[in-house]
A and B are shown apart, each in its own frame.
Chain A
Amino acid sequence: MPEVLLRNVGKRFSGTAVPVLEGIELSIDRGEFVSIIGPSGCGKSTLLKLVAGLLPCSSGEIAVNGMKPEDARALVSFVFQDPTLLPWRTVEKNVALALELEGKPREENAKTTAMLLELVGLSHVAKHYPRQLSGGMKMRTSIARALATRPRLLLMDEPFAALDEMTRDRMNEELLRLREEQNWTVIFVTHSVAEAVFLASKVIVLAPHPGRVAHVIDVTLTYPRTEATRESDAYDEIVSRTSRLLREAHRL
């Protein structure tokens, strides 16, 4: 059984002529890292919210681990473009939030939180408030919070878009390192071709108006991927091929 299955999924917001998404067919296996890329307005974020069960489909159906999206939420964590931290909570309390909401016992939460902060390298700022952190640190906190509930599926909506390029590259490598340890399935929405290729085992290019799957690109680079991957010819080749397909999709 695929981890995420989309069958002929469409989404139309009331009062708009063109649907946001139409006829999306997608099958994602357990452990895959799928990047979704496409021009603005092609429904990337909407697709992610449909899989999260935060929006209802207008047509077709979605199965997450065989369940309806809204029933599968316990298996899923969502990382937003903004860090969406609660400013009145310290870093460790922010990470513990999701566990608290799901009613986990307190002592266990403290242990999990400490472990996660260690993992994302934020132990030294555990007692700090979000306003005292840099953009990259806030995003790491947000990711640690998402990982706290041990998700099987991670949905990420342009999580590093607001970061500078160097921080972004480092966060990409960290994300893959974390995945080595925890082996989630990921759907990662991004604007950046380089980021999409570096992270994913499969890149999906969407075409706009209405949003639909234009191309599926298998990224054959081996994990673990590092600095050296970025400098390899194979990586360059896939990036330029993906860029070309993205430009074509724009004209479709």
Chain B
Amino acid sequence: MKKAMRNRSLLLVNSVLVFSALIMLWEAVILIFHVQPYMLPDPLAVVTTTAGRFPDLWSAFLITAEEAAMGLLASIVVGVLVALVFARSRWIRRLLFPYTVLLQTVPIMAVTPLIIMWVGPGLNAVVLIVFIFCLPSIIANTTQGLISVDENLVQLFLMHNASQGQKLRKLRFPHSLPNLFVGVRVASGVAAIGAIIGELFAGSTGVGHGGLGYSIEYAKDQLQTSYLFALVVAATALGFAFFFIAMFFEWLLLHHWHESATVVEDI
């Protein structure tokens, strides 16, 4: 226990040192090569801009977070439903599974014009793009979980004359939860990226306000490089936040019983 504590504090100290070193390197590059602020602002400028324009930054953050959350939730609902259909029959799976792979490989930028044509620019388009980004990993993982149930358990349910509904509710669905959460974890990382990419292409309907992606585009046009940096930091934070929220729910639902949720990493 004591050893673990010491290891953890050592890790913390090291992390702080590495972070400080990176900041100093950044500062040094600017000083040595005389880099102009519109090309690369110094760390302090980024911090002051972040503080000074925090309300703008926060509202952009919330807009993107909302889009990402809506797309992610929609993909979980639809993904689980599709997985339930896939789990029913090997034939359906064989016929339709390739399309979910296709969904993953289609370059989203190429489809964006079509999406804008169909649902209009702004919120709808961005949510749809996030949805497309997230859907395949939810479908693939949940299907895997639903169909990989131990044969003996299926026979046990059969012995007690379980109905199809009981088999799904009491066996297949809970069994698939760990897999579903693997899908959600992957998708939550992708959701934030999807929302920002979506905004870069499908933007906002209003001028001067929008999510992080839209603001990045705007800040670039205005050569507000230090604000651009602040936006990048915010976008990264958004991705982290989604990932950790997904992890939290996974822990909340699975830590009682599932091995993967209780593994203690030895650092």
Contact = CB atoms under 8 A, between A and B. Distances in A.
Nearest to A98: B160
Contacts of A129: 256-257
Contact of A86 (B159, B161, B171, B259): B171
B88 to A, nearest CB: 20
Interface stretch (A20-28, A74-82, A194-202): A74-82
Interface residues of B, number: 20
B161 A84 contact: no
B166 A80 contact: no
Contacts of B166: 101
A54 interface: yes
A131 B259 contact: yes
Contacts of A82: 150, 152
A13 B110 CA distance: 52
Interface in A47-61: 49, 52, 54
A97 interface: yes
Interface string B136-165: 000000000000001011011111111000
A73 B174 contact: no
B170 interface: yes
9 contacts: A54-B155, A74-B161, A76-B159, A78-B156, A78-B159, A100-B170, A102-B161, A131-B257, A149-B160
A101 B174 contact: no
Contacts of B170: 86, 97, 100-101
Given A73-B159, A101-B161, A102-B160, A84 B152 contact: yes
A74 B159 CA distance: 8
A88 B174 contact: yes
Contacts of A97: 160, 170
B242 to A, nearest CB: 25
Interface string B157-198: 111111000100011001001000000000000000000000
A52 B159 contact: yes
B258 interface: yes
A247 to B, nearest CB: 31
Q: From DSSP, what is the main secondary structure of chain B's interface residues? A: helix
B257 A101 contact: no
A73 B156 contact: no
B158 A54 contact: yes
Contacts of A52: 155, 159
Contacts of A102: 160-161
B203 to A, nearest CB: 44
Contacts of A78: 155-156, 159
A176 B159 CA distance: 23
Nearest to A102: B160
A84 B157 contact: no
A88 B159 contact: no
Contacts of A73: 158-161
A38 B170 CA distance: 36
B176 to A, nearest CB: 11
Contacts of B153: 84, 86
Contacts of A80: 152, 155-156
A87 interface: yes
Contacts of A89: 257
A78 B166 CA distance: 19
A130 B257 CA distance: 8
A143 B134 CA distance: 43
A88 B157 contact: no
B150 A101 contact: no
A77 B159 CA distance: 7
